[in-house]
Amino acid sequence: MKKIIDFITPWEIKIVLFLTFIIFFKTCTTNSKIKTESDRIQILNNKVDSLKIEINNVTKEIQKEIKIEGLKAEKRMIQSTDRKILDVNRQTEIDKELSKLEK
């Protein structure tokens, strides 16, 4: 232990300076890494937001198609039965809804 202390005593200021420089340079690179990573996170957040918008648009399109097909199926069912007066009114309502949805 005595040998180690005797070695460190004349060099302690240089050792402290050396370690200080190492720590300083290490913190400088850490800050630049944090900045680049935050930029990448921002880019990824923008991509996720755009995907959410696209998914919402696709979901709305699918719901619209389902409603159109449901109305067409209801109209076919009404046409296949023999009831007249109430069914004619409902068929015109269905035709109006279909024309609105298909625009």
Q: For 53-98, write each residue's pLDDT tens digit.
A: 888 888 888 888 898 899 888 888 887 776 666 677 788 888 888 8
Pick the residue with more confidence: 63 or 25?
63
What is the pTM (predicted TM-score) of this model? 0.47
Q: Mean pLDDT, to the nearest integer, of 34-48?
A: 86
Locate the domains of the chain by residue range.
2-102
Going by pLDDT thresholds of 50, 70 and 90, the confidence category of residue 21 is confident
Q: Find the Cα–Cα–Cα–Cα dihedral 91, 95, 100, 103, rounded to 10°.
A: 160
For 77, list phi and psi in degrees, rounded to 5: -65, -40
